[in-house]
Amino acid sequence: MAYPAEAANAPETSAPSTSFPSDIRFEQYRDERDMPGIVSLIDKDLSEPYSVFTYRYFINNWPDLCFMTMQGDRCVGAIICKLDVHRCRKTHRGYIAMLAVEKELRGQRIGSKLVQLCLDRMRQLNADECVLETEVTNLGALGLYRSMGFVKEKRLHKYYLNGNDAFRLKYLFKLPEGFHAGMGCLGQLVESWTPETKE
């Protein structure tokens, strides 16, 4: 089953504001009491329904890679990720599984902040790369991730249950050996890299 990191349909890049509403705060997942708000928010946006067991798989195994945006007692933004060893390349690969922001708060860089929190934590955990999938028609998500330094790796045909294609996007924490010699991303990841991001 696909776990699309579909940010939102409204482009984050349309509003360059870097200040959040005064009642907005960002928190790391604490415990099961946070689960209903996250599930309710994400289920409204994603193209494929998930059982609570899907959420628990990610959150219970990688609770430090789940962040929420809170407005009062209400969850208005959430990101769910994981980090494990890629079985083919033996690299530490992060994965953004789900990202959602309430419609009325989109365009205020909340999604970008959530992604940055996870990328920062993955970097602390010595990740080599981070990947995600999103629908090719989701221009809001594609714009958000492009602004964060993600690049398109491949197109996945009929990836979703609805028959839509996806792009797999990749963010490199370390550049591969031979990258500057034009060898692309095929070598071993050896060189640290921190792109400039626009906030």
What is the average pLDDT across 2-19?
A: 47
Domain boundaries, the chain: 12-174
What's the pLDDT at 24?
Answer: 94
The answer to whether residue 89 scores a pLDDT higher than 50 is: yes
Contacts of 9 by beta carbon, 8 Å cutoff, 6+ apart: 138, 139, 140
Cβ(69)–Cβ(111) under 8 Å? Answer: no
| Mean pLDDT computed over every residue of the chain | 83
Helices 52-61/35-45 angle, 10° precision: 120
What's the pLDDT at 14?
Answer: 37
The residue ranking higher by pLDDT, 176 or 171, is 171
Cβ(123)–Cβ(173) under 8 Å? Answer: yes
Confidence grade of residue 26 (pLDDT, cut at 50, 70, 90): very high
CATH superfamily of 12-174: Gcn5-related N-acetyltransferase (GNAT) (3.40.630.30)
The answer to whether residue 185 scores a pLDDT higher than 80 is: no
168: how many CB neighbours lie within 10 A of its CB?
15
pLDDT digits (tens, 9 = 90+) for 108-165: 999 999 999 999 999 999 999 999 999 999 999 999 999 999 999 999 999 888 888 9
Instruction: Using a pLDDT cut of 90, give the percent of the chain over it.
Output: 62
The answer to whether residue 99 scores a pLDDT higher than 70 is: yes
pLDDT digits (tens, 9 = 90+) for 52-77: 899 999 999 999 999 999 999 999 99
- Please, what is the Cα angle at 81 between 94 and 163, to 5 degrees? 95
Helices 110-124/139-148 angle, 10° precision: 50
What's the pLDDT at 179?
Answer: 63
What's the pLDDT at 198?
Answer: 42
**Phi, psi (deg, nearest 5) at residue 108:** -115, 15
Confidence grade of residue 2 (pLDDT, cut at 50, 70, 90): very low
Query: What pTM was estimated for this model as a whole?
Result: 0.80
What is the average pLDDT across 6-22?
A: 51
CA distance 159 to 143: 20
What's the pLDDT at 162?
Answer: 83
The residue ranking higher by pLDDT, 151 or 89, is 151
Terminal CA-CA length for the chain: 33
